[in-house]
Amino acid sequence: MLTGNYAINMDAKGRMAIPTRAREELVELCGGRLVVTAHTQDPCVLIYPEPRWQEVLPGIQALPSMNSAARRVQRLLIGHACPMEMDGNGRILVPPTLRSRANLDKKLMLAGVGDKLELWDEDTWTTLMQGTSDDEIPEQLETLDF
């Protein structure tokens, strides 16, 4: 399970180092093999351990091709998907198209959300975490006891 959040930096070439704790988890989960792709709604990048991506991919591919929203999801997730492997220093290269889509610059936040990681611009992440949501609370959330 990928958890926690980390303030990290990206260099001018788009490389970022996965923090040690998360790196160790990823090595154990997938040998450092990852798939990096776009989020369908939020301005962030999703980083999947390769085995988890292989589980998710058939569901994305099975979406109805005659539905425009489904095609958009397929184009975002599959069209932006980049398989990669962490280098010996635990670094990955975030592709320019994904950096641009998520407005990623030097200062980033990497957040573990269970089965994947989310990579955010630090300012966007801070604003999101401080803000309130006008979204309707799902029934499943109302029944949780923290």
Closest CA to 34 of 110, 106, 107: 110
List, edge to edge, every strand of the sheet that includes 33-38: 5-9, 107-112, 117-121, 45-49, 33-38, 82-85
* Both tokens assigned to 75: 């184009």
In a domain, 144, yes or no: no
On whether residue 132 sits in a domain, the answer given is no
Average pLDDT over the chain, rounded to whole?
94
Domain assignment present for residue 138? The answer is no
What is the band of 101 on the pLDDT scale with cuts at 50, 70, 90? very high
Residues in a beta bridge with 92? 16
**Rounded CA separation 10/92 (Å):** 10
Asked, for residue 131, whether it belongs to a domain, the answer is no
Its pTM stands at 0.91
Domain membership flag for residue 141: no
Can you tell me the mean pLDDT for 51-66? 96
CATH number at residue 99: 3.40.1550.20
Range of the domain at 120: 5-126
Instruction: List, in sequence order, every residue forming a beta bridge with 36; answer none if it has no partner.
Output: 47, 82
